[in-house]
Amino acid sequence: MANEPSTTLTDLSQHGCFGGSVGIYSHPSEQCQCTMKFAVFVPPQAQIKPVPVLYYLSGLTCTEENFITKAGAQRYAAQHGLMLVAPDTSPRGEDVPDEEGWDFGSGAGFYVDATENPWTQNYRMYSYVTEELPTLIHQNFAADPARQGIFGHSMGGHGALVCGLRNPEKYQSISAFAPIAAPSRCVWGQKALGKYLGPDESTWAAYDASELVRQKAQTNRHILIDQGLADPFLEQQQLKPEVFKTTCEEVGQPLTLRMQSGYDHGYYFIATFMEDHVRHHAEVLCG
């Protein structure tokens, strides 16, 4: 049931999975000015009719393959008839600027549209995720453009919250695992936003979920967040879910924040609560 396929899409691998298929694809990106990759799980229901799409944004150092191989989401997506799409976390390539260190540059696009040189030409992950990638998915797969959700982990949880809050007409459901919920107030976020967007902190608010909610960039959809209490980055004050929770309470943004005892920041934590998150999205998208 796919639309007319795009000639710019390269099929890198295919694997049968829970009655559907997992594919890894690449394409030349207009937004990022390089070759980008993404993973897609197509559920068996897509053989009959277009299905809702759930986008997953991964965290620091990850690629398009971490989620699709580790999270165990395909089983639940197949049950509900949801397509899963997981893009890479940044532009990559010999001509793409990078910086030493794991928390900025390659693998660390932070889902922003950079405005500072030398990052501005390639690091446009916000527009890639919200505009270019969905267009490509709808052109090549049996995806329903009217039913989209978004979720993610850590840096990707930050990206999911930002994309969802700024585009309520595009995403009908939002959730996150251990998101960087107030990047303007943590070391990771201050480094990334400062380098990608410049020293004027007023420009950072557009990519800070807590500030977006404070400025009434809200959605009437209920947001679900899971956070492990044994997460070392929670103790290091990199995530700050309490800031997001307080702000949501102040302005009336519906939120469920679950603090999970004994769970850390990794994919064992994500896999444990994945069924809940897929169900959270399916209740909205599959109706």
CB atoms within 10 A of CB 5: 11
Farthest-apart Cα atoms in the chain, separation:
51
Residues 3, 27 contacting (CB under 8 angstroms): no
Measured between alpha carbons, how far is residue 127 from residues 5, 132, 162 in Å?
Answer: 22, 7, 12
User: How far apart, in whole angstroms, are the C-alpha atoms of residue 265 and residue 194?
Assistant: 25
> Which residue type occupies 266?
G
Residue 201's Cβ-count burial label (10 Å; 0-12, 13-18, 19+) is middle
> Which residue type occupies 163?
C
Residues 53, 147 contacting (CB under 8 angstroms): yes
Residues known to be catalytic: 154, 231, 265
Residues 57, 160 contacting (CB under 8 angstroms): yes
- The strand order across the sheet containing 143-153 reads 10-17, 20-29, 34-42, 83-87, 51-57, 143-153, 173-177, 223-228, 255-260
